[in-house]
Amino acid sequence: MSVGYDHVDLIAMKKYGVRLGHTSNISSEVIAETTIGLLIATARRFFEANHALITGEWKDSDIFWMCGRSIRNSIVGIIGCGNIGISIAKKLNSFNISQLLYTSRGEKPEVTIDELVEQSDFIIVSVALNEDTKYIINRKRIAKMKSHAVLVNIGRGELIDQDALIEALRENRIGGVGLDVMTPEPLPLDNPLIKMTNVVLLPHIGSSSIETRTEMAVVTAKNIIAVLDNSAMTKEVQL
Ligand SMILES: O=CC(=O)O
């Protein structure tokens, strides 16, 4: 019951003739909603601000206190323009950004990934994990990011070299990070990301709306029935 199937051994499935169903495209819209929420929460420091409020550190004397960065007039780069990436781009369209950069497997992208990470104020990773995309955000690419860049990952933890990311955050070489996915999951409570103020972490809840999870469950049940009936699944992975 997921869109991604990077956790499944496809070679073994094929070898033993086991069919694989998934829930592709059902959750794209709601994951895009999560992405926009995470982007704004990270860029505008919602959790840090909330923490300040509840611990009595609210200062209203300093006009720049708790200032984050606006999405308006910014350059946003989306790595991976599949169903989720396109849905994110459509939602961003109403934010009056100055430029949208993207890279994708299908259509010829206008920029390379290196150019995208170098030029973007906000970088969104929404690509599927496979051998080609593992560590697509590597140490070298993190080093190219703007010092105020905000990185959001809603794909899979292993798309990012997390150790290199932690180093960059520690040294304030990037602005902030919003992660709905990380390595490992659940993240151990002693992981350095947990204590960082410029990091917003969500426990992989990208598709967790009641409506979407219900729809995913129904498709999964239909997929199982289709296998038992030896008929076509609603969503089947071609092995
Ligand atoms: O991560 C969620 C999914 O693959 O459905």
Q: Which helix (H) or strand (E) holds 140?
A: helix 139-144
Which of the listed residues 207, 220, 223, 237 should we mutate to test ligand 1's pocket, taking the one with most ligand atoms within 8 A of CB? Answer: 207
ipTM of the complex: 0.92
Q: Which helix (H) or strand (E) holds 178?
A: strand 176-179
- Positions marked active-site: 204
> How many angstroms separate the CA atoms of 128 and 137, rounded?
13
Q: Which residues pair with 45 in a beta bridge?
A: none
> Ligand 1: does its nearest atom lie under 6 Å from the Cβ of 183?
no
Q: Give me ligand 1 centre to Cα 2, in Å.
A: 4
Look at phi and psi of residue 101 and say left if phi exceeds 0, alpha if psi is from -120 to 50, else beta: beta
Which of the listed residues 1, 2, 5, 130 should we mutate to test ligand 1's pocket, taking the one with most ligand atoms within 8 A of CB? Answer: 2
User: What's the predicted TM-score (pTM) here?
Assistant: 0.95
Q: What is the pLDDT along the chain (239 residues), one digit of tens a residue?
A: 999 999 999 999 999 999 999 998 899 999 999 999 999 999 999 999 999 999 999 988 899 999 999 999 999 999 999 999 999 999 999 999 999 999 988 767 789 999 999 999 999 999 999 999 999 999 999 999 999 999 999 999 999 999 999 999 999 999 999 999 999 999 999 999 999 999 999 999 999 999 999 999 999 999 999 999 999 999 899 99
> Ligand 1: does its nearest atom lie under 6 Å from the Cβ of 206?
yes
Given strand 75-79, what is the order of strands in its sheet? 99-103, 75-79, 122-125, 150-153, 176-179, 199-201
> Ligand 1: does its nearest atom lie under 6 Å from the Cβ of 24?
no
